[in-house]
Amino acid sequence: MPAYQSPLTGEKRKLPLDTSSRKRVAIENALGAPSTCRTSSNHGGEEYWMIQWRYPQYKKHKTWDGDAVLVLTGVRGSVYDLEGKIMGAGSLNAPKAEENGEYKFGEKEIRIDHSISRGEYMSGKCYGRGSIPSPATTGNDSAKPTLRVTPLPSMKMNVPYKTPLKAMGKRTIDLHPVNLLSTRDSPSASSSKANAPATYWTANWRKPQGKKHKTWDGDAFVSHVGDKLTVISEKGKILGRKEWDGLALYNGYSFSAGGKQIELDSQVPASRMPSITGVEDSEALPGLEEDVPVALSSPSKPSFLLQAKIVLPGKENNITVASPGSSKAFVPPASFYGQKPIKKPNEPLHDPEAEGAIVMKATTSEHAVKFNKKNLPTVAVVLDPIIARHLRPHQIEGVKFLYECVMGLRKHEGQGCILADEMGLGKTLQTIVLVWTLLKQNPYVGAGPVIGKALIVCPVSLVNNWRAEFHKWLGRDRVGVFTGDKDKSTIKQFLNSRLHQVLVIGYEKLRTVIDELAYCNPPIGLVICDEGHRLKSSNNKTSTMFKSLRTVRRIILSGTPIQNDLSEFHAMANFCNPGLLDDHATFRKVYEVPILKSRAPDCTDKELEIGEAQSAQLASIAKSFVLRREASILKNYLPPKHEYVVFITPTQLQLSIFSAILNPDKLDRLIDGPTAESLALINVLTKVSNSPVLLKAQADKARATNPDAIRRPGIDDALRLLPKDPRVEDFSMSGKLLALSHLLKAIKERTQEKCIIVSHYTSTLNLIEAFCKKKSYTYFRLDGQTPAAKRQEYVNTFNKSSQYSHFLFLLSSKAGGVGLNLIGASRLCLIDSDWNPSHDLQSMARIHRDGQKRPVFIYRFLTAGTIDEKIYQRQVTKIGLSNSLMGSGSSSSKSDSFSRKDLRDIFRVHPETGCNTHDLLDCGCDAVSKHFNDNVANVSGNDIEVDDDDDDEDAAGTGFVNASQVKPRHIEKMDGAYMKKKQAELASLGEWTHINCLRRLTSDNIHDVILRHLVLPSVRDDKEDIAQPKSRLDSLLSAVDLDNITAMDEATQPLSVRDVPGGTISFLFEKTSISTLEENDVEDGSMV
């Protein structure tokens, strides 16, 4: 039905036809009696609803255009907007309207939100600002006189109604106050409301909005005591009150009060509620129905109106107080508008005494001297319980560390730090908690929040992931996150935006807008660099661009802070805390050179003493601003992880190509040639280890781009060995890809698990993608060509899908190897290795993270005896460098340059060994390989020992000597020393379990059932099935008809590499992290 609108001053009031009953018409209209203005004669059949509406949409994700009020009489009715104007009339396409129901009404689609009472409709509460829809807009009423009547206050009012002023000379109507909106609840209903238990809630509030995507204006608290709902701000001011409708309160319950829209969030204890500071006791204001914040009255100073009532004699003394606000004490105006200045209470934002409260470190007197120049009072900084309850113990420690560093409460000079936790420990969550705390709190009262805006820089593939994490932990309305994945002009909107406090942007895009961000208002107070190991040089473009910002609070997040040498650590430390470790030249002289000398196998006692002292001093300094925890602390929360280094025998075609390229006659010229040529050859050998098909693809690409290019010696000979028309999906030419095909087949047939395949080369991913299409394996692919907007969508879909929907995820380590959460898979296969160990470590950490429910299996594939093993050996060396400074462990360091001996070792292929790395270890375990390369055998074990009698002779032979004076044993000793040094560098591999898969009956030592099935199944079941000739030893034993001798030989003697086909698993390194999760907490699901 149409309702009424407040009269406007000076507007002519039209008279009804029967002027003798003017008052009766007005009163009956207000009570719902028949009148000329109404379309229904019986308001008992009318229903009032708050709704959301939209015009018909055909897009995938539909949105609502706005809120409105629906008045129904049966199935017909009218829709009014929040300004009280009619939007249309029509019929409902259903016999009855129900809450949360979606219907078609006229030309609009509507969704019923909740019902409202007739009193709320008539009083205008449902319209936010108290406006009432005008009947003049409900239809053609030109033939009927209209009457506008103001909804009158309730019977509790203490001021008689006074008609508005009208234009002079116009006829007016005086109305008497009547109780139009009094409730007639039954006594039982009223008593049940009054006896309801008191509850307290957190809530979001906003003023009425007409925009498409609504946002909340702030947080508040709601107290439900008796039959009243009171909305209280975080500062203790009452925002409004409303009578409880008797419905049970729940998360998402919404109502209107004080001209604001309120939605309940979560129930809290009474101790969390702020004390009311802006309104008198509710008993003193019985008529307050929709209160606004009112200052507490002073008992010693009555109001101006009350004083006037006492002093003035005569008839004028009969002054009636017009509203409860008239009894307020007089407030001296602090500004032209007479507003009382808001005084912030000297209390923490959250209760530090509450159960489970996490309180940050308090400021010290030294800190106050430096940062509290105005001598402001201090207050405790408490983490927001909404997000703090999700933190684990190690994450609480991390947040406290970050807070102390950026606030200058640590020992070191500066306000920066490095959070170097291993992958999967929750660095993102810890950072979000810190940002939210600094945006809302400050230990010094009255100084405002610590920061106004924060900048998060990350790889472009993680931009949307950061935004999703903010929304996950804080919701969409508490903090505004602006993603810098758009053009430059759009990103500039962040500079003066009051709706956005956090900018998430990629490193490359930041370079284009860094100069403009220096003028942000408020300024950027915190810079966070995710995957900050990209700042490994103080002179590169990524590091120098931050000089435009004057932000002193800087944080680096990196699971792999040191990747190659100590110079990278100096660059990152200098970014966080400029000048803390002096300039690079001084740092290298004081720390880097002595430390590296002390860790060399042939260092002197003095070098060792100096190096250890400098290393201890550097570690002490780093401890103040670097925090690193190992992933092993997650053993209480995550399922076990099994890591395997899988050594696979090459095919005969691969060995022939290696022999053609690395011809001994040409090897010396390659080693002594330009460095660029050596690096190019290393790239060629790596691709041949993956598949010989890649060699032909690279040659065809080079011929297409530069037909006149000079072909390197040996490449033409290698290309002639390939088949004429090799197919891309043919895996038979590569031992590594053959093993991968067997692994995928076993996982597909025997489990319900999904698998990630990681490679550093997109050309290798092309081969695997063609194979997947041939085998009808469902997959996603993410590499550098994948649009940034699609990357997170692929990840989310893969995590939620089954093995049947998406079995594989093909991942490029450079594009998606950092930050992504791929817990939908429980197996990961790393096809090739990178010289930088951080790339591999980051890629392998994608699946063993929070949320993983299955045991995790990680496989690193290496082609035995080839360049793959040399790359892996250098990775082990570099990881030892990082552990020596960031954690535990020690190993010697090597730079990215290659010596002549390094190149000779890299370009050497060992075709007779199942694992060259294990041969170098000389660990003496039961997994010793039977066949050794002659060069390795000559320098292993006792052969590399140097006799004391030859020391003088060796010393005399150092320096420049004639070639005729160089004896073979001198060369052997130098090679022996080089191999001894490599053996020391690989010592950390002794922590792994070594399994020789060429030895019979060893498959029972493998934890992974899938690998156990793949390890020489034909040898384990029936050796006659191997499509290779028998070894001489097997032939001799077959001639002896003694079962016990055969069984003993099979159990103790390993096979030769020549006895097995290419693609056979020859050796395994296994390492398992033990989990303390109960068995029923981990989805077994691995076998079907």
Tens-place pLDDT, residues 495-509: 988 899 999 999 889
Range 921-937 burial, b when 16+ CB lie within 10 A, else e: bbbeeebbbbbbbeebe
Burial (CB < 10 A; 0-12, 13-18, 19+), residue 949, is exposed
Residue 1 confidence class, pLDDT cut points 50, 70, 90: very low
- At 876, list the tokens: 């082990």
Domain membership of residue 251 (yes or no) is: yes
How far, CA to CA in Å, does 758 sit from each of 465, 738, 809, 860? 20, 16, 8, 10
CATH of the domain at 473: 3.40.50.10810
* E-strand stretches of 425-495: 453-458, 481-483
* Co-location of 683 and 575 in the same domain: no
What is the extent of the structural domain holding 1044? Answer: 993-1081
Tokens 């407030």 belong to residue: 331
d(Cα 635, Cα 628) in Å, to the nearest integer?
A: 16
Phi and psi angles of residue 27, each rounded to the nearest 5 degrees, phi first: -70, -40
Domain membership of residue 576 (yes or no) is: yes
Domain termination residue (choose one: 831, 853, 875): 853
Domain membership of residue 293 (yes or no) is: no
d(Cα 692, Cα 683) in Å, to the nearest integer?
A: 13
Q: How many residues does the chain have?
A: 1088
* pLDDT greater at residue 208 or residue 139: 208
- Round to the nearest angstrom and report the end-to-end CA distance of the chain: 64
* Co-location of 113 and 214 in the same domain: no
d(Cα 851, Cα 70) in Å, to the nearest integer?
A: 45
d(Cα 727, Cα 693) in Å, to the nearest integer?
A: 8
pLDDT at 466: 93
pLDDT at 881: 57
The DSSP annotation for 308-330 comes to HHHH--SGGG-----SGGGGSPP
Average pLDDT of the residues of the chain: 74
C-beta separation of 839 from 817 below 8 A: yes
Four-residue CA torsion sign, 158, 164, 170, 172: negative
For range 659-684, the mean pLDDT: 74
Convert the pLDDT of each residue in 919-953 to its tens digit. 887 776 765 443 333 443 333 333 333 333 443 43
Q: How far is CA 614 from the centre of its chain?
A: 37
pLDDT at 1075: 61
* Co-location of 424 and 572 in the same domain: yes
Domain membership of residue 1030 (yes or no) is: yes
pTM above 0.75, yes or no: no
Domain termination residue (choose one: 582, 597, 613): 582
Q: Amino acid identity of 701? A: K
Q: Point out the least confidently predicted range of 284-288, 357-361, 975-979.
A: 284-288
C-beta separation of 624 from 411 below 8 A: yes
Domain membership of residue 335 (yes or no) is: no
Long-range contacts of 469-477 (CB under 8 A, 24+ apart): 469/428, 469/429, 469/432, 470/432, 470/502, 473/387, 473/390, 473/429, 473/432, 473/433, 474/386, 474/387, 474/432, 474/436, 477/204, 477/215, 477/216
pLDDT at 861: 94
Domain membership of residue 217 (yes or no) is: yes
C-alpha count within 13 angstroms, C-beta hemisphere, residue 349: 24
In eight-state DSSP terms, residue 494 is: G
Q: Point out the least confidently predicted range of 163-167, 286-290, 559-563, 1045-1049.
A: 286-290
Nearest to 974 by CA among 957, 962, 961: 957
pLDDT at 160: 43
* Co-location of 474 and 427 in the same domain: yes
- At 904, list the tokens: 């000779």
CATH of the domain at 785: 3.40.50.300
d(Cα 967, Cα 962) in Å, to the nearest integer?
A: 11
Q: In sequence order, which residues have a C-beta less than 8 Å from that of residue 130 and are 6 or more positions away? A: 6, 123, 124, 259
Q: Point out the least confidently predicted range of 619-633, 686-700, 902-916, 1057-1071.
A: 902-916
Q: In sequence order, which residues have a C-beta less than 8 Å from that of residue 436 and are 6 or more positions away? A: 384, 387, 474, 478, 479
pLDDT at 343: 57
Report the percent of the chain where pLDDT is more than 90: 21
**Ramachandran sector of residue 959 (left: φ over 0; alpha: ψ -120 to 50; beta: rest):** left
Domain membership of residue 639 (yes or no) is: no
pLDDT at 983: 62
d(Cα 999, Cα 1060) in Å, to the nearest integer?
A: 12
d(Cα 752, Cα 1084) in Å, to the nearest integer?
A: 10
Q: In sequence order, which residues have a C-beta less than 8 Å from that of residue 516 and are 6 or more positions away? A: 492, 495
Convert the pLDDT of each residue in 948-993 to its tens digit. 344 343 433 434 444 444 445 554 555 556 566 666 666 667 778 8
Domain termination residue (choose one: 532, 551, 582): 582
**Cβ atoms < 10 Å from Cβ of 696:** 15
C-beta separation of 224 from 96 below 8 A: no
Which range, 294-298, 840-844, 881-885, has the best average confidence (pLDDT)? 840-844
Q: Is 303 helix (H, G, I), strand (E, B) or coil?
A: coil
Which range, 37-51, 210-224, 694-708, has the best average confidence (pLDDT)? 210-224
* Co-location of 379 and 516 in the same domain: yes
* Co-location of 51 and 95 in the same domain: yes
Tokens 């708050």 belong to residue: 50
d(Cα 696, Cα 702) in Å, to the nearest integer?
A: 10
Domain membership of residue 1026 (yes or no) is: yes
* pLDDT greater at residue 513 or residue 817: 513
Nearest to 241 by CA among 229, 250, 251: 229
In eight-state DSSP terms, residue 1053 is: P
pLDDT at 707: 60
Q: Is 296 helix (H, G, I), strand (E, B) or coil?
A: coil
pLDDT at 709: 53
Q: In sequence order, which residues have a C-beta less than 8 Å from that of residue 356 and are 6 or more positions away? A: 385, 388, 389
Convert the pLDDT of each residue in 798-837 to its tens digit. 999 999 999 999 998 887 767 688 899 999 999 988 887 7
Q: Please, what is the Cα angle at 402 between 398 and 407, to 5 degrees? A: 150
* Co-location of 69 and 174 in the same domain: yes
Burial (CB < 10 A; 0-12, 13-18, 19+), residue 764, is buried
d(Cα 822, Cα 237) in Å, to the nearest integer?
A: 46
* Co-location of 373 and 517 in the same domain: yes
Convert the pLDDT of each residue in 571-587 to its tens digit. 888 899 988 888 888 99
* pLDDT greater at residue 815 or residue 103: 103
pLDDT at 474: 92
- Look at the chain and report how many structural domains it folds into: 6
The DSSP annotation for 1030-1043 comes to PPHHHHHHHHS--H
- At 913, list the tokens: 């060994």
Convert the pLDDT of each residue in 630-664 to its tens digit. 877 877 788 888 999 999 999 999 888 888 888 76
* Co-location of 199 and 162 in the same domain: no
* Co-location of 161 and 64 in the same domain: yes
Does a cis peptide bond (omega within 30 degrees of 0) precede residue 352?
no
Nearest to 207 by CA among 264, 257, 278: 257
For range 86-101, the mean pLDDT: 87
* Co-location of 206 and 168 in the same domain: no
* Co-location of 38 and 159 in the same domain: yes
